[in-house]
């Protein structure tokens, strides 16, 4: 009896420490806003956003690389088995189905933000797989991708120019931008293979992380100058736990801690950047999504989140292994709903759904175990209330989004980028920029 009580006590402590997990089936492909919010048990949270603008890498790329690189490049997700659970159609998402931002858009009552070939008032996705923060970083991962500063160029010189004429007044356009959400998943490529191949000999990780923060801050300020006020940024996930790194690098534990430590150096600088930006950019709201913590929770207790495999690729490469990119038109694993990774670098739809719902649902928790920081359902902070457009009484000073600082223009560079990718697509026999691929 004493032993039984001891075990009950241990289990209770374990549950209090780590939580009960979060096993929720991935919803149907065409689920609507109301049903998804019910599915997530967040019906008492209302998010009012006119648009979502998405930036940076393959975690959130939904077709830009596919348009640029064609249907034969794995970085573009342009062939099966990518999209096998998206009505069997490769869309450019480097996974089997939807990505996290798709679920967030649905909760906000918006369509999926389309790739940059299409400009609509509900948002645009500029993300490009293999993109990087630093302009001086080379094209180690791929020659034709859109780096972060170039994505900001395109937002300024393409989307903004196209949208201005659809508003009755400049003030209406400024108000629209101030209420839109700017979602950024960034720096994974800079801290991963790019650092190892190009930067490790030049910089210590501390100096390199500072360079990344400096460039990231510069681009966030550019977006602010252009009218952005509401920013949601994910930190970097534990790259040392990807199937590629686990299978190609020496390590003594379950993951390659050398890489994870490198990531942590950068992640630890983000809160300081947030505090600085929040205090110097009037009316701005910055929220940090702790995707690193989401991964940690899953790796510690995978079955409590519905996962049976946390470190193996679901798809098979050309060598018949699960270490390199997916081979075209070879059926992936059947248990992909229970896997964290779809290919050796990228997440399954299930894991995308998990981090999206954690970012959304944890905003109503006080645990601070991931998602939106310092937010509770019963006592919303003004920061999140301003960010998500919640219908809460707020101090005007905390949510002032009308002030706008005029900054430098980058029109010529933006035109050059569009011409560059137009030329790249024409060279490979693709369609012109601005037409459906």
Tell me, what CATH number does 151's domain have? 3.40.50.1110
394 or 204, which is more confident: 204
- Residue 285, pLDDT > 90, answer yes
Residue 196 reports pLDDT greater than 50:
yes
Q: Are 259 and 243 in contact (CB under 8 A)?
A: no
Q: Looking at the domain assignment, is residue 337 inside a domain?
A: yes
Q: How many percent of the chain have pLDDT more than 70?
A: 76
- C-beta of residue 64 within 8 angstroms of C-beta of residue 125: yes
Closest CA to 48 of 363, 377, 389: 389
Q: Give the pLDDT confidence score for residue 382 in this predicted structure.
A: 38
88-92, 205-209, 367-371, 383-387: lowest mean pLDDT where?
367-371
What percent of the chain is modeled with pLDDT above 90?
A: 68
Domain assignment present for 33:
no
Q: Token pair 């369609």 is at which residue?
A: 431
The pLDDT of residue 361: 75
Number of domains in the chain: 1
Non-local (6+) Cβ contacts of 384 within 8 A are 285, 287, 363, 372, 375, 390
Q: Where are the alpha helices (DSSP H) in 19-118?
A: 33-39, 64-69, 100-107
Q: Does pLDDT of 53 surpass 70?
A: yes
Asked if residue 48 has pLDDT above 70, the reply is: yes
Residue 119 region by backbone torsions, left for phi larger than 0, else alpha for psi between -120 and 50, else beta: beta
As annotated, the active-site residues are 58, 343, 346
- DSSP letter for 399, please: S
How far is it, in rounded angstroms, from Cα 431 to Cα 250?
44
Interatomic CA distance for residues 399 and 382, integer angstroms: 8
Average pLDDT for the chain? 82
- pLDDT at residue 21, as a whole number: 64
**Looking at residue 118, what is its pLDDT?**
85
CA atoms within 13 A on the CB side of 427: 9
Q: What is the mean pLDDT of residues 83-94?
A: 97
> Cis link prior to 81 (omega < 30° from 0)?
yes
- Asked whether 89 and 99 are in contact (CB, 8 A), the reply is no
| Residue whose pair of structure tokens reads 């430590």 in the numeric block | 261
Burial of 269 from C-beta contacts in 10 A (0-12 / 13-18 / 19+): middle
Question: Over 60: is that where the pLDDT of 52 sits?
Answer: yes
DSSP 3-state helix, strand, coil percentages of the chain (rounded to 5)? 45, 5, 50
| Contacts by 221-225, CB closer than 8 A, 24 or more apart | 221/277, 221/281, 221/407, 222/152, 222/156, 222/407, 223/152, 223/155, 223/182, 224/277, 224/281, 224/284, 224/405, 225/404, 225/405, 225/406, 225/407, 225/408
Model pLDDT, residue 401: 34
Both tokens of 295, joined, read 């991964």
Q: For the ranges 133-147, 186-200, 272-286, 380-394, which has the lowest average pLDDT?
A: 380-394
Q: Is residue 432 part of a domain?
A: no
CB 360 within 8 A of CB 43: no
Q: Find which of 20-24, 88-92, 373-377, 388-392 is predicted with most confidence, using mean pLDDT.
A: 88-92
Domain-embedded: residue 28: no
pLDDT recorded at residue 429: 47
Angstrom distance (rounded) from CA 379 to CA 365 = 10
**Using an 8 Å Cβ cutoff, are 106 and 32 in contact?**
yes
pLDDT at 371: 35
Q: Which residues 6+ apart lie within 8 Å of 373 measured at CB?
A: 287, 288, 290
Range of the domain at 238: 47-363+383-391
Q: Identify the residue with better confidence: 256 or 5.
A: 256
Contact status, residue 73 vs residue 413, Cβ threshold 8 Å:
no
Q: Which residues pair with 183 in a beta bridge?
A: 54, 232
Rounded to whole angstroms, the Cα distance separating 194 from 137 reads 7
Q: What confidence tens digit (pLDDT) does each residue in 9-29 have?
A: 444 444 434 444 668 899 999
Output Rg (C-alpha) for the chain, integer angstroms.
21
Residue 16 lies inside a defined structural domain of this protein: no
Positive or negative CA dihedral for 398, 404, 407, 409?
A: positive
CA within 13 Å, CB half, 275: 5
pLDDT band at 244 (very low <50, low <70, confident <90, very high): very high
Residue 405 belongs to a domain: no
The average pLDDT across 373-380 equals 31
Residue 246 reports pLDDT greater than 90: yes
pTM for this prediction:
0.83
Joined tokens for residue 103: 């679920």
Query: What pLDDT is stored for residue 385 in this prediction?
Result: 40
Backbone phi and psi for residue 315, each to the nearest 5 degrees, phi listed first: -95, 165
Least confident range from 33-37, 306-310, 410-414: namely: 410-414
Question: Is residue 9 one of the residues assigned to a domain?
Answer: no
d(CA 35, CA 382): 27
Q: For position 376, what pLDDT does the model report? A: 27
Question: Helix 270-280 to helix 205-226 angle, to the nearest 10 degrees?
Answer: 30
pLDDT for the residue numbered 403: 32
Question: What's the sign of the alpha-carbon dihedral 20, 25, 29, 35?
Answer: negative
Residue at 150 is within a domain: yes
C-alpha closest to that of 20 among 353, 305, 296: 305
């Amino acid at each position: 009896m004493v032993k039984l009580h001891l075990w009950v006590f241990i289990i209770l402590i374990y549950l209090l420490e780590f939580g009960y997990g979060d096993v929720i089936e991935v919803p149907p492909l065409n689920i609507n806003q109301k049903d998804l919010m019910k599915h997530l048990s967040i019906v008492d949270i209302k998010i009012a956003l006119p648009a979502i603008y998405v930036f940076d890498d393959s975690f959130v790329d939904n077709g830009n690389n596919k348009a640029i690189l064609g249907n034969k490049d794995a970085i573009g997700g342009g062939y099966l088995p990518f999209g096998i659970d998206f009505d069997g159609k490769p869309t450019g998402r480097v996974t089997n189905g939807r990505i996290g931002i798709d679920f967030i858009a649905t909760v906000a009552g918006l369509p999926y933000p389309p790739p940059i070939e299409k400009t609509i008032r509900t948002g645009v996705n500029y993300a490009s797989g293999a993109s990087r923060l630093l302009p001086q970083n080379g094209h180690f991962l791929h020659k034709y991708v859109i780096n972060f500063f170039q994505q900001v160029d395109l937002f300024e010189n393409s989307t903004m120019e196209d949208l201005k004429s659809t508003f009755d007044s400049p003030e209406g356009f400024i108000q629209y931008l101030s209420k839109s959400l700017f979602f950024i998943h960034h720096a994974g490529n800079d801290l991963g293979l790019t650092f190892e191949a190009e930067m490790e000999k030049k910089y210590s990780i501390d100096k390199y992380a500072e360079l990344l923060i400096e460039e990231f801050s510069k681009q966030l300020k550019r977006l602010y100058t252009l009218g952005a006020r509401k920013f949601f940024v994910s930190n970097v996930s534990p790259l040392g736990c990807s199937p590629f790194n686990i299978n190609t690098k020496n390590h003594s534990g379950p993951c390659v801690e050398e890489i994870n430590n490198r990531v942590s150096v950068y992640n630890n600088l983000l809160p300081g950047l947030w505090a600085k930006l929040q205090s110097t950019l009037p009316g701005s709201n910055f929220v940090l999504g702790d995707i690193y913590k989401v991964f940690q929770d899953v790796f510690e207790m995978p079955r409590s989140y519905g996962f049976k495999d946390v470190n193996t690729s679901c798809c098979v490469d050309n060598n018949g292994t699960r270490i390199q990119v997916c081979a075209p038109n070879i059926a992936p694993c059947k248990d992909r709903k229970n896997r964290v990774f779809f290919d050796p670098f990228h997440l399954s739809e299930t894991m995308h759904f998990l981090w999206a719902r954690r970012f959304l649902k944890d905003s109503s928790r006080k645990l601070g175990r991931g998602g939106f920081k310092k937010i509770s359902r019963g006592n919303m902070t003004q920061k999140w209330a301003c960010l998500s457009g919640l219908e809460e009484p707020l101090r005007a000073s905390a949510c002032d989004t009308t002030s706008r600082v005029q900054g430098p223009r980058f029109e010529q560079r933006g035109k050059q980028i569009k011409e560059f990718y137009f030329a790249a697509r024409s060279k490979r026999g693709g369609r012109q920029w601005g037409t459906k691929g």
